[in-house]
Amino acid sequence: MSVPSSPTIFVRQDGTRIYVRWLPVLGATDYKLYVLEAGGAWGLEDDIADSEINSDGWFFDITGPLAGVVNVRLTALNALAEESDYSNEVQVNLRGAGATVHPTDALQHIRKGY
């Protein structure tokens, strides 16, 4: 069994929301989504099972009272929990009502399939 390829992510923003989309990676059983907020450190936002991804892609919606620069990246894991290299890293500058930057583990998120 080989380590999965790195996923490629696509990110869009809407105010203080971030939507992350990727297509399933061959051999991957799970994915890890990482987020870096301005002035912080990379943190694991969520573990996502491959079975949760729709065949046409999958959006991950990170919400919260956020404002400022946020970076997002993803890895793929196989059944042996061997992790791929990081995906491309996407940076967004969130606009909105957020007055404070919250720690990554405090972000609220909703999964949406499109």
Class of residue 56 by CB neighbours under 10 A (exposed 0-12, middle 13-18, buried 19+): exposed
Q: What is the pLDDT of residues 31-78, one digit of tens each?
A: 999 988 887 889 888 888 877 776 666 667 776 656 688 899 999 999
What's the mean pLDDT in 77-89?
96
Domains and CATH numbers, the chain: 10-108 (2.60.40.10)
Q: pTM for the complete prediction? A: 0.77
Q: How far apart are CA 77 and CA 30, in angstroms?
A: 5
pLDDT at 34: 92
Q: Is the per-residue pLDDT at 82 higher than 70? A: yes
Specify which residues 76 forms β-bridges with.
31
Q: List CB contacts of 14: < 8 A, sequence separation 6 or more.
A: none
Give the CB-side neighbour count of residue 53, counting CA atoms within 13 A.
21
Q: Which helix (H) or strand (E) holds 33?
A: strand 30-37
- Name which of 2-6, 60-64, 74-78, 101-105 the model is least confident about: 101-105
d(CA 14, CA 96): 9
